[in-house]
Chain A
Amino acid sequence: MKTAITADAAAALIPDGARLLIGGFMGTGSPHRLIDALVKRGAQNLTVIANDTAWPGRGIGKLISARAAKKVVASHIGLNPETQAQLIAGELEVELVPQGTLIERIRAGGVGLGGVLTATGVGTLIEKGKRIIEIDGKQYLLETPIRADFALIGASKADYFGNLEYSLTAHNFNPVIALAADVVIAEPHTIVPVGVIPPDAVKTPGVLVTHLLERAF
């Protein structure tokens, strides 16, 4: 049984300088109330690891506009001119990682693997500084695991044990980042009694969830 906390209480748990894994794809499936609370708290120097930075005024884009992040690890920042402007001005460090590599590095960090081998990026700028390992005559890059202090998850439904269900394209990074952080904070649209989410529909077992955000309305 979890205790539901407010978004402000959750944001207060996250110190300045923390490394955050944040779910969402162009804002879809992001923990929007948690992000708003972090902006309201005036969080600083965060490292944000996520697929993208959405766009100004949307999801993770709000953290960028509030200059709450000192570093972003993402696959795509093309729809957020503010991220690109801060990058070009030297005010924000951005590490670009191919999307499939990013999710597998996070997965590796979450499931106890020492890294992954992928052909993605071989012969490109991405291979710089990485070990190339040949398996059966094919070249792969050794990509290292990613973990964070906190994972901030957007879910469709949670039950009192913290079991999570996701909807449609709001899955994206959420089920994977739930494994790769010391503290996992889940923000569900709705909270239902135990048993309402059938076991087959649970994508993130509640044992992974540290804190549950209270209901939205």
Chain B
Amino acid sequence: MDAKEIIARRVAQEVRPDTLVNLGIGLPSLVAHYLPKDVHVFFQAENGVIGLGPRPPEGMEDPDLTDAGGGFVTAMPGAASIDSAMSFGLIRGGHLDMTVLGGLEVDERGYLANWMVPGKMVPGMGGAMDLVSGAKKVVVAMVHTAKGGHKIVPRCTLPLTATRRVSLIVTEMAVIEPTDAGLCLRERGPGVSVREIENATAATLIVEGEPREMALN
């Protein structure tokens, strides 16, 4: 199982039935593949659909039905199409149960940076700032380190996405919960020791007892 699959499988366990969930583009979008078949969830694509479905068959795409990355999708029975004001009203207004986003850095306060690397990469924040500010639960899904560089750090060096503490950080090495006291190590990745996690983390981790290994099915 590669890092992305471990992360997606673990995040899928956070999804509760009959909730409204927004998955970011890239790694977070993989989460949809690992939900139990009997769990019904409304996925929101912030460009304007509640009830996002999988890719349509080749040659049967609808040019007016795409996801936030511009890729062709379908809509599930019971879906609703909405404009951007309604879509972000849902997000900012506290109607979105959970959002899963990628991250460049997360720090000991639980603050996320994920929208620009000054001078190098300026993709823009898209909906990320609204999602982190407004969703009931914010899960960061990212690989633990980038090319050997730390991503879980004492203080973010990159521009922040929001000054709201995220709910959970899921990597292939660890599940970490930001709390008032700091970053608590809750679970270890498959075959990973606490020592290895600490070595791959620039931030201080609070470890209580022996954190259990992720139960991936």
Contacts and interface: CB of A to CB of B under 8 A. Distances in A.
Contacts of A94: 122
Contacts of B83: 166, 171-176, 203
Indicate the size class of the contact surface on chain B. Answer: 35 or more
A57 interface: no
Given A75-B126, A176-B84, A54 B70 contact: yes
Contact of B125 (A96, A123, A166, A173): A96
A116 B108 CA distance: 32
A28 B64 CA distance: 6
B99 interface: no
B115 to A, nearest CB: 8
Interface string A91-116: 00010101111011001000000000
Interface stretch (A13-21, A77-85, A190-198): A77-85
Interface in A126-180: 126, 156, 166-176
A87 B122 contact: yes
A122 interface: yes
Interface residues of A, number: 50
A76 B81 contact: no
B85 A104 contact: yes
Contact of B69 (A79, A98, A125): A79
B134 interface: yes
Interface in B41-71: 45-49, 62-70
Given A169-B45, A176-B84, A100 B122 contact: no
Contact of A26 (B66, B81, B85, B161): B66
B161 to A, nearest CB: 7
Contact of A75 (B91, B121, B125, B162): B125
Greatest chain A CB density within 10 A among B67, B68, B84, B122 is at B84
Contacts of B163: 122-124
A166 B47 CA distance: 13
Contacts of A65: none
Contact of A88 (B70, B84, B122, B162): B122
A124 B124 contact: no
Given A27-B70, A120-B129, A104 B48 contact: no
A78 B64 CA distance: 21
Contacts of A75: 124-127
Given A104-B85, A171-B48, A172-B48, A119 B68 contact: no
Greatest chain A CB density within 10 A among B75, B124, B159 is at B124
A47 interface: no
A121 B127 CA distance: 11
Given A99-B88, A100-B88, A103-B84, A120 B64 contact: no
Contacts of B64: 28-29, 156, 167-170
Contacts of A88: 119, 122
B133 interface: yes
Contact of B65 (A78, A96, A101, A169): A169
B129 A173 contact: no
A4 B93 CA distance: 40
A120 B119 CA distance: 24
B76 interface: no
Nearest to A32: B63
A26 B47 contact: yes
Interface string A51-89: 110110010000000000000001111110000100110
The 9 tightest CB contacts between A and B, nearest first, are A78-B123, A26-B70, A123-B163, A100-B88, A100-B130, A76-B126, A170-B64, A98-B129, A167-B64
